[in-house]
Structure 1
Amino acid sequence: MPRTALTRGLAAVPLSALVLLAGCGGGDTEETSSSSSPAAASSSTTPTTTTGSAGTPADDTEDDAATDAPPFPADTEPDTGEAQAGEGPTVVTDLRIGAHDGFDRVVFEVSGSAVPGWDVAYTDSATAEGTGDPVDVPGTTFLRVTLTGVTNPYEAPDVPEIARGGTASDTGTVQGVFYDSVFEGQALAYVGLGAETPFRVYALTGPSRVVVEVQTP
């Protein structure tokens, strides 16, 4: 059966909890976002920088980490989570990828204070919403990421959504991410991988994000 946010003990982490994380980053790299100023790199690691047609530099940041992230499951079963209500439109405004000690991280940041729900599962092919045409994302297997409770673009024309297209990655396990589109309140993306491996999904707030982490060998 699909894993759920409730059964895995997931909860959105308030901004105040993230501030405390600055002194306990573990093996993670400190990286820059396309929407923030560069951060100093850890003395023991090298920041990962990835770029692609979906946007400018797409790196995750130290604030994307969660102190209560669930352990990686022993399986690769689908993962689902419920949307959390909030203020303002929920538009995907940033996509970040980063390499960390033991896992690769993909972050979907949204506008407003609501947090999307999610349905994340492995699939053998990456196809566009509606047409079913193949989309260009590297990898031999893919995590299909569906974010629910997202605002349709025409309902929030003043909030810039990230562009449709692919973002390459040199993190190792995650080979690339393709952000497709929003249809009827659902945003679709694919994470390209070389093989199926355990993954976990959780939500963060301040700003609102859905985090997908894939375990590395």
Structure 2
Amino acid sequence: MTSTRTRPGARRPVGRAATAFLALTLAACAGTGPDGPGSTASPEPASPPAESTAGDDPTGDSTTGDDPTSDVPFAADASPDTADPSADAALVVTDVRVGRHDGFDRVVLDMEGTGAAGWSVEYVDAAADDGSGDPVAVDGDGVLQVRLSGMAMPGEDPDITEYDGATIDPEGTEAVEEVVYRFWFEGYTTAFVGVDEPGLPFRVFALEDPARVVVDVQDPADG
């Protein structure tokens, strides 16, 4: 819009109608673009929510933003995946959930406490308990060991209740056959994910508010 200039000497008072017209004109010019005097930039669009649950997803972790599940194709392989815990990590697993997604199954380990957990996730020949080495029965043709670090001893905080350890046999999944949780041992917590085929690609990442570690396992047909 072309700006309007007042001629020198035109200083006589104007009526109410003229005043209102002038105010509307200036307001319109103020929003015409970034280069004009008094113009204002368009408001920034609202950031997407950190988490947005889709449909009846039992994991409640269909996320947007920096969620790596937005990658296409499935950005994963079968090699071990590791991450270090934060220096102040002292967490307890409070729930384990499994859900079906488009092209993969998701295992979520919910946590409470402080800091961020680390992890070591890899395929093992057989599931075995830490310390004793006793074998652990896990359904599936392959076993993915999920070992979390930076974990506090359950019971240290009376307000945090550890997951009850129930084995999960999910329905409607393609890759995950069973999840077996094995409690805490010397700063680590281990769970075993039984999968339909050995060596299925997987990916691991952490989410916050609440704290959780997510393991996605690709469908056998998509590998």
- TM-score, structure 2 length as denominator? 0.68
Contact 1:79 1:120 in 2 (8 A): yes
Q: For the residues of structure 1 that align with 2:50 and 2:158, how far apart are their CA atoms?
A: 36
Aligned length: 169
Deviation per residue, 1:160-214 (Å, 9 max, x gap): 1012241111212100101101111100000000212110000000000100001
Q: Residue 185 of structure 1 aligns to which amino acid in structure 2?
A: G
Residues 184/21 of structure 1: CA separation in 2 closer, same or farther (3 Å cut): closer
Residue 204 (structure 1) aligned to one of 180, 202, 207: 207
Deviation at 1:73, TM superposition (A): 4.3
Deviation at 1:114, TM superposition (A): 2.0
Q: For the residues of structure 2 that align with 1:114 and 1:18, how far apart are their CA atoms?
A: 24
Q: Secondary structure at the match of 1:166?
A: coil
Flag the structure with larger Rg: 2
2:194 counterpart residue number: 192
Given the alignment of the two structures, is residue 133 of structure 1 paired with residue 147 of structure 2, yes or no? no
Residues 136/68 of structure 1: CA separation in 2 closer, same or farther (3 Å cut): same
Given the alignment of the two structures, is residue 121 of structure 1 paired with residue 83 of structure 2, yes or no? no
Deviation per residue, 1:60-97 (Å, 9 max, x gap): 01x4535323344463100011223568x511001110
Aligned alpha-carbon RMSD (Å): 2.4
Residues 105/154 of structure 1: CA separation in 2 closer, same or farther (3 Å cut): same
Q: Unpaired segments of 5 or more residues in structure 2?
A: 1-45
Contact 1:64 1:107 in 2 (8 A): no
Q: Secondary structure at the match of 2:49?
A: helix
2:41 counterpart residue number: none
2:78 counterpart residue number: 76
Deviation at 1:126, TM superposition (A): 1.1
Q: Unpaired segments of 5 or more residues in structure 1?
A: 1-15, 32-46, 48-58
2:179 counterpart residue number: 177
Residues 134/124 of structure 1: CA separation in 2 closer, same or farther (3 Å cut): same
2:55 counterpart residue number: 30
Contact 1:126 1:134 in 2 (8 A): yes
Report the more deviating stretch, 148-157 or 179-188.
Answer: 148-157
Given the alignment of the two structures, is residue 166 of structure 1 paired with residue 167 of structure 2, yes or no? yes
Contact 2:121 2:144 in 1 (8 A): yes
1:60 counterpart residue number: 59
Residues 182/100 of structure 1: CA separation in 2 closer, same or farther (3 Å cut): same
Residue 19 (structure 1) aligned to one of 49, 55, 75: 49
Q: Residue 86 of structure 2 aligns to which amino acid in structure 1?
A: Q
